Structure 1
């Protein structure tokens, strides 16, 4: 019988005996060490993107709803409906809305003025516990702004 050219005997090469069977373990260990932070990063960035799109959409829709209303009561009712819809759609929790008009000194909204709506919110990172205020420390602020010209027929009903 002719000896095979492939050696499976650990006595033939003593340096390779220590490496036998460790590739699978190294692959699993390194794979987990790289995969877990990568998955967390994808989830966190997805959450931040969702909230920032919500803030931008909220600002744009609020500006349009308020500027096309016929009077202040209609504008308030429209703004509440739009804001609750955006909160539900994008999962915004704590929303701060700032409404200003240009030129400065006019009542807001006023006929012919430019309405500027800014929506601010904060994204809490996933898996951060609300212990000792860690959820507030590990939150990312997002902001969206929109400008819309108020109809010159505002309040003329």
Structure 2
């Protein structure tokens, strides 16, 4: 049975497209996969930074609330911050740390609440430090922690 001319042209048109599916798959895969992989890496870096500053704030507030005197609190705070920063791969010198007490006054004192706030900037991975791009693409993270000092606490 002879084929019609339209049928033959349709088959010929399909033959012209042969072999391009693999190329299209590779290009589409790269176009979608590379940004998705970078997104996962960037979000994990920001998450690591946010977990680090949260842990630093929590442990620092706990350490200050448990110390025996103002001088001991002032000595304990940088040690705790540096230890936690090293654990999470943060630069301890680049962290912004603030300490306050409620009600205002001597810190720490019996019945007061110690508030420690820790902030940092997390640079996105694979961003070169050219033309200040590393500063423009940094993500600021901040955490605060409140620890109640025992009302039976007394300085030695």
Q: Same fold (TM over 0.5)?
A: yes
Give the structure 1 partner of residue 137 of structure 2. 138
Query: In the TM superposition, what is the alpha-carbon distance from 1:46 to its structure 2 partner?
Result: 0.2
Once residues 10 and 56 of structure 2 are traced to their aligned partners in structure 1, the CA distance between those partners, rounded to angstroms, is 72
Show the 5 A alignment for 1:68-83: 68-83=66-81
Q: How many residues align?
A: 146
Query: In the TM superposition, what is the alpha-carbon distance from 1:63 to its structure 2 partner?
Result: 0.2
Give the structure 2 partner of residue 148 of structure 1. 147
Once residues 17 and 128 of structure 1 are traced to their aligned partners in structure 2, the CA distance between those partners, rounded to angstroms, is 45
Give the structure 2 partner of residue 98 of structure 1. 98
SS in 1 for 2:14: coil
Give the structure 2 partner of residue 7 of structure 1. none
Query: In the TM superposition, what is the alpha-carbon distance from 1:12 to its structure 2 partner?
Result: 8.1
Once residues 129 and 86 of structure 2 are traced to their aligned partners in structure 1, the CA distance between those partners, rounded to angstroms, is 22
Unmatched runs of 5 consecutive residues or more in structure 1: 1-9
Contact 1:99 1:117 (8 Å CA) reproduced:
yes
Query: In the TM superposition, what is the alpha-carbon distance from 1:150 to its structure 2 partner?
Result: 1.8
Contact 1:124 1:135 (8 Å CA) reproduced:
yes
Of 82, 87, 90, the residue aligned with 1:89 is 87
Query: In the TM superposition, what is the alpha-carbon distance from 1:11 to its structure 2 partner?
Result: 8.1
Of 12, 15, 28, the residue aligned with 2:13 is 15
Once residues 145 and 108 of structure 1 are traced to their aligned partners in structure 2, the CA distance between those partners, rounded to angstroms, is 16
Give the structure 1 partner of residue 37 of structure 2. 39
SS in 2 for 1:123: strand
TM-score after normalising by structure 1: 0.87
Structure whose residues are more often helix by fraction = 2
Of 5, 20, 27, the residue aligned with 2:25 is 27
Unmatched runs of 5 consecutive residues or more in structure 2: 1-7
Once residues 67 and 36 of structure 1 are traced to their aligned partners in structure 2, the CA distance between those partners, rounded to angstroms, is 47
TM-score after normalising by structure 2: 0.87
